[in-house]
Amino acid sequence: MKKYAITFCALCMGLLLGSCNKDPEYFTLETYPDEMHVKCSVEEIVLNKGVADQTAVTFTWDAATSPMSPTDLVTYKMCLYPSAQKDSRSEYIDLGTNLSYSLTHDELNTLMSQWVLPGQAISVTAQLLCNVHNEQRYIKPEESTVEFTVTGYEKYPPYLYMKITTDEGQQLSQRLEQRQLGTGIYEVTLDMNPCKFHFTTSDQDYPAYGMADGSDAEQMVYCTEGEISDFRFEGQGRRTVIVDTNNGFNDCRVLDIVQLPTPGLIWICGNGCSVGWNTNTSTGRLEMVGSAREPYYYAWTGDFNAGGEFKIGVGNGWGDPFFFAPDYNADPVTDHRLSTYRYQDNGGDVKWVPSVSGRYTLTLCLLATDMWTKFEPAE
């Protein structure tokens, strides 16, 4: 019996060693020839911010066919990547059954900014894949590629410069910064008198933003050369200039925003809210809730008490200015009037009295030409 066991083990070992010497067999997919022959409308392009929303490149290709059935649905998708670094490819874009695809200067520049610095040329590969939708068998996607060279531009410079010419002929320059980096929305607050002005992206004359011809007084045009049309300001006083360089806006607005004594310092107090009669506390601080285009909205969310009183402070204590209610016992639920802050001696200690209890959001609009409040239930 022992002899049979030894013989059986030796036989199994031989079979095992024999199987190790045999090459493994893999399932392979057929590779089909390129029927699509994707083409690019340009071999080389320098992107232009001045025509950011216009077509920069167009890809076209021939229709692919199914190797299984002429009735199979064939769809396409495309990605782009640096020719020398395929791992950095973009997300695939589903193109359906279309036989062409275009990118604007802005769209292509957004991709380029992930791979190379502005002003540097880069070789880019567009990869087109076709997917054959066959119910019985998986068919390997067909691939077609084309290369072209792109040079991008700086989409959002760190600053803009407001080039001002007063009516007396004095020339001034003010730097605008982005309140939120990467938004392309620039802001500066300054004292203004009647003047004309435009914007540049550096201390040089170009590139520049001037007033667009044939549009309203807020729309801008991007200039790399030639005459620059100036904006015009006729008022007087402290103003906030907001420039939005993004497509869809591309405008300049000169706004009269209520300037807080200490920027960002605004708070609620009173027994009509959960803060109580405590001045300038972190729990009572109103937050700026407007976007970079609208830095004049402030709000506080908390518990309000029906029949109690509250007011809005903008200083450090009781002797500093407040936003007061429009009338004694004004109900914020129904009365949305708002005037600029003042000292108590200049009109009395006029407070709001909410008619409801619960968690609410009180919002203030501090646009001097359109001041108001809003009182809404909070989640």
Cβ atoms 337, 375 nearer than 8 A: no
**Secondary element (H or E) of residue 15:** helix 2-20
Q: What's the number of domains the chain is made of? A: 3
Strands 231-233 and 195-200: antiparallel
Instruction: Based on the fold, state whether residues 238 and 225 are members of the same structural domain.
Output: yes
Cβ atoms 161, 186 nearer than 8 A: no
Position 136 scores a pLDDT of 80
Q: Is residue 43 part of a domain?
A: yes
pLDDT digits (tens, 9 = 90+) for 202-245: 989 999 999 998 767 799 999 989 999 999 999 999 999 999 99
Task: Give the Cα separation of 156 and 177 in Å (integer).
Answer: 11
Q: Is residue 316 part of a domain?
A: yes
| Structure tokens belonging to residue 77 | 């998708």
Instruction: Based on the fold, state whether residues 135 and 171 are members of the same structural domain.
Output: no
Task: Give the Cα separation of 230 and 226 in Å (integer).
Answer: 13
Instruction: Based on the fold, state whether residues 137 and 167 are members of the same structural domain.
Output: no
Instruction: Based on the fold, state whether residues 135 and 251 are members of the same structural domain.
Output: no
Instruction: Based on the fold, state whether residues 296 and 365 are members of the same structural domain.
Output: yes
Task: Give the Cα separation of 373 and 88 in Å (integer).
Answer: 49
Position 180 scores a pLDDT of 81
Task: Give the Cα separation of 372 and 297 in Å (integer).
Answer: 10
Position 179 scores a pLDDT of 84
Cβ atoms 127, 145 nearer than 8 A: yes
Q: Is residue 18 part of a domain?
A: no
Instruction: Based on the fold, state whether residues 246 and 280 are members of the same structural domain.
Output: no
Q: Is the pTM of this model over 0.85?
A: no
Q: Is residue 201 part of a domain?
A: yes
Phi, then psi, of 342 in degrees rounded to 5: -155, 170
CA-to-CA dists, residue 320 to 195, 260, 277, angstroms:
35, 12, 15
Within 10 angstroms of residue 338's Cβ, the number of other Cβ atoms is: 21
Instruction: Based on the fold, state whether residues 239 and 276 are members of the same structural domain.
Output: no
Q: Among the three residues 255, 279, 311, which one is the final residue of a domain in this structure?
A: 255
Position 211 scores a pLDDT of 95
SS3 for 86?
helix
- DSSP for residue 96: E
Q: What is the pLDDT along the chain (379 residues), one digit of tens a residue?
A: 444 444 444 444 444 444 444 444 333 445 667 889 999 999 999 999 888 889 999 999 999 988 888 889 999 999 999 999 988 889 999 999 999 999 999 999 989 988 998 999 999 999 999 999 988 888 888 999 999 999 999 888 989 999 999 999 999 999 999 988 778 999 999 999 999 999 999 989 999 999 998 767 799 999 989 999 999 999 999 999 999 998 889 999 999 999 999 999 999 999 999 999 999 999 999 999 999 999 999 999 999 999 999 999 999 999 999 999 999 999 999 999 999 999 999 999 999 999 999 999 999 999 999 999 999 999 8
Q: Is residue 303 part of a domain?
A: yes
pLDDT digits (tens, 9 = 90+) for 56-109: 999 999 999 888 888 899 999 999 999 999 888 899 999 999 999 999 999 999
Q: Is residue 217 part of a domain?
A: yes
Instruction: Based on the fold, state whether residues 104 and 119 are members of the same structural domain.
Output: yes
Find the CATH number of the domain harbouring 320: 2.60.40.3620
Instruction: Based on the fold, state whether residues 307 and 264 are members of the same structural domain.
Output: yes
Instruction: Based on the fold, state whether residues 191 and 177 are members of the same structural domain.
Output: yes
Instruction: Provide the domain limits for residue 331.
Output: 259-379
Instruction: Based on the fold, state whether residues 271 and 286 are members of the same structural domain.
Output: yes
Task: Give the Cα separation of 72 and 70 in Å (integer).
Answer: 6
What residues contact 35, with CB distance under 8 A and at least 6 apart?
62, 63, 64, 65, 142
* Cα 217 from chain centroid (whole Å): 24
Q: Is residue 181 part of a domain?
A: yes
Instruction: Based on the fold, state whether residues 180 and 140 are members of the same structural domain.
Output: no
Q: Among the three residues 92, 122, 151, which one is the final residue of a domain in this structure?
A: 151
Q: Among the three residues 237, 255, 273, which one is the final residue of a domain in this structure?
A: 255
